[in-house]
């Protein structure tokens, strides 16, 4: 699948405005690694967007937003052909002090969605007049409120030479039943060593890594049109629909059917 390369660095470097506003249907794309002196809000329509930053792999489902603090090194990519990106970057000197200094993914309300869509009028302009600045500061206030509903759709990542191939193996075999013992044997490690690697390099145990990975995959499948909860549970490796539903609720804040139904009303 063709992935369109984009340079976010060039977009921000070319801006002469205090704010950087970007609205575009990108389809499958991948950005460069970059950071900038703006706090950034991104949300996606009609597809999932992935962000790698701060040692995490983060998933943004469609109609969810992500807040990226200033000076956070990150890259953005998507494999969804119809994905539409909307982004607003806020200068540090007027950032709402209540905005968190860590990356957060949260469901975007109808109010915030309309406010972000309204900023498209400044996508090819310089939003530095008083009316624009006042409006964009109001957007920040709404973000600060809504980010309190953040969800945990992110996985810790690693470049550790022993653990990296293990996490890649787990992603390739997500629906399969893999015990911790069989995983250790597969890679010639003791259970104690593998447990220590997960704790030290990822900060979470194997079971949590597996759980989040499966829910993130389910979210991607929903974006691609899957809407049968039982089939979704089976496709990501759950024997129990109830367990799948409970884990989905714990990570996303909604049960899978609620999430699917909410997508249909967008």
Identify which of 149, 147, 157, 236 has the alpha carbon closest to the alpha carbon of residue 198.
157
CB 21 within 8 A of CB 139: no
pLDDT, one tens digit for every residue, the chain (266 residues): 556 778 777 766 666 567 888 898 888 889 989 998 889 999 888 788 899 987 888 888 877 899 999 889 999 989 888 888 999 998 877 766 777 678 888 888 999 999 999 999 887 666 767 888 889 889 999 998 998 888 888 888 888 999 999 999 999 999 999 999 999 999 999 999 999 999 999 999 999 999 999 999 999 899 888 999 999 999 999 999 999 999 999 988 889 999 888 776 65
The phi, psi pair for 223, rounded to 5°, reads -60, -30
Please give the C-alpha separations between residue 219 and each of 15, 137, 229, in angstroms, as whole numbers.
Answer: 34, 31, 11
Domains of the chain, earliest start first: 4-149 (2.60.120.280), 157-264 (1.10.10.60)
The pTM of this model reads: 0.81
111, two tokens: 């109010």
Pairing of strands 4-6, 29-31: parallel
The whole-angstrom separation of Cα 116 and Cα 57 is: 25
How many C-beta neighbours within 10 Å does residue 9 have? 14
SS3 210: helix
């Amino acid at each position: 699948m063709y992935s369109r390369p984009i340079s976010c660095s060039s977009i921000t470097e070319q801006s002469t405005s205090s704010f950087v506003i970007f609205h575009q249907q990108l389809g499958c794309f991948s950005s460069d690694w970059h950071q900038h002196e703006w706090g950034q809000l991104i949300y996606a329509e009609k597809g999932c967007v992935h962000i790698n930053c701060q040692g995490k792999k983060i998933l943004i489902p469609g109609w969810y937003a992500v807040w990226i603090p200033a000076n956070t090194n990150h890259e953005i990519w998507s494999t969804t052909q119809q994905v539409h990106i909307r982004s607003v970057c806020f200068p540090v000197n007027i950032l709402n002090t209540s905005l968190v200094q860590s990356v957060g993914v949260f469901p975007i309300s109808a109010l915030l969605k309309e406010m972000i869509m309204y900023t498209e009028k400044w996508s090819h302009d310089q939003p530095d007049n008083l009316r624009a600045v006042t409006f964009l500061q109001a957007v920040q206030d709404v973000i600060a409120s809504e980010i309190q509903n953040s969800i945990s759709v992110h996985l810790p990542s690693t470049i550790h030479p022993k653990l990296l191939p293990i996490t890649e193996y787990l992603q390739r075999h997500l629906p399969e039943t893999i015990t911790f013992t069989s995983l250790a044997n597969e890679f010639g490690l003791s259970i104690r060593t593998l447990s220590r690697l997960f704790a030290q390099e990822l900060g979470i145990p194997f079971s949590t890594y597996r759980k989040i990975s499966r829910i993130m995959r389910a979210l991607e499948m929903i974006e691609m049109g899957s809407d049968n909860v039982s089939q979704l549970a089976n496709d990501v490796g759950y024997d129990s629909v109830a367990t799948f539903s409970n884990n989905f609720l714990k990570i996303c804040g909604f049960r899978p059917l609620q999430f699917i139904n909410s997508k249909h009303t967008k």
